[in-house]
Amino acid sequence: MAGALLSVMHYGLLAGMLSACVAFLLTRWMNQRLRWAQQRLPFAVHNLAAALVMLAPLLLLALALSHSRSYIIGAPQQYRELLDFLARTVLELRDKLPPEIATQLPEGAAEVQRVLAGYLGAKAGALALAGRAWLGGLLYAYVGLIVGALAALPHETKTRGPLVQQLMLRATRMGEAFRQIVTAQFWIAAFNTTLTAVFLLLVLPLWDLKLPYAALLITLTFVGGLIPIVGNLLCNAVITLVGLSVSPLAAIACLGFLILIHKAEYLINAKVVGQQTHIRVWELLTVLFVAESIFGPTGLVAAPLFYAYAKKELEAAQLV
């Protein structure tokens, strides 16, 4: 199992694996909800559940392409423009701040600004080449979705041997870890994204403040929210910098609002994730930093799930 998970990270198959887990759980859930219609259908209801799970992404994609094709296809280029915008904002930091605050910045702050702007510019250049990887990730995700939906269908087999029994046991523990970590984090990300969208699109315009790249910032909030702690800190920094490009008042409003979101999120995270998986904050941070240093951004996404699964294995063996 450890070798399989490391292979998933090494060969860039994380999107497919996560999609397979989602499809598996969703097919089983829909199968339970659709059983009332079994007598009216000429075929098994679990086949209907699997077909709905496999066809739903295609319908959603067709709907999205018909309304926002340029945004979906050009997402890497748009995020490159956002990073370039942030780099310029960092370089113009002294001009954006009130004079009494700008004069208090240390002399070395200008060099720090140039280093940070250079880092953002380098990341923007890398995103220019990300279009192919973007589409490849979507393809892997959909293939994983098909695999997960088909795996959820019941199969009539003879008596299972010890290898199959052990594989099913590991798969069950991985599924439980996925349900606890990813599902909880999904709802936390949705909570953050909804509040951020209300703030950027409704609250700020009431003060005659409008942030550029609002749609990108809302999307980034949801994607970053799937990464516990670190992802939200990154999104907060980006939104605050974009707010600073408008005015210091907008930056202060963004920072204050995001702090309030974090307080609510920590309560949800501690109750939903911490109690279910018995993972402490320092454990999660350590795993996130180590995984990011080894596997890059995908390590941040996979670390909570893999660590929750590993801890379940250790608890089952009575080692922790």
pLDDT at 108: 47
SS3 (DSSP) at 212: coil
What are the pLDDT digits (tens) for 131-172? 555 566 778 888 888 998 888 887 766 677 888 888 888 988
Quote the CA–CA distance of 206 and 201 in Å, as a whole number.
Answer: 9
Cα→Cα distances 280→171, 269, 285, 292, 307, Å = 24, 11, 9, 18, 11
pLDDT at 4: 92
In the predicted structure, residue 45 carries a pLDDT above the cut 60: yes
CB proximity list for 263: less than 8 A, separation 6 or greater: none
- Length of the chain, in residues: 320
pLDDT at 7: 92
SS3 (DSSP) at 108: coil
Question: Of 68-72, 272-276, 296-300, which has the strongest mean pLDDT?
Answer: 296-300
Planar angle of CA 187, 177, 265, nearest 5 degrees:
30
Q: Are the CB atoms for 46 and 101 separated by under 8 Å?
A: no
Among 255, 267, 307, CA closest to 285: 307
Tokens describing residue 33? 């909800």
Burial of 141 (0-12, 13-18, 19+ CB in 10 A): buried
The amino acid at 167: L
Among 239, 262, 260, 234, CA closest to 250: 239
Quote the CA–CA distance of 86 and 208 in Å, as a whole number.
Answer: 22
Among 217, 204, 237, CA closest to 78: 217
Quote the CA–CA distance of 300 and 302 in Å, as a whole number.
Answer: 6
What are the pLDDT digits (tens) for 188-200? 788 888 888 888 8
How high is the mean pLDDT of the chain?
Answer: 76
Other residues' Cβ atoms within 10 Å of the Cβ of residue 38: 13
Q: Are the CB atoms for 90 and 113 separated by under 8 Å?
A: yes
pTM here is 0.65
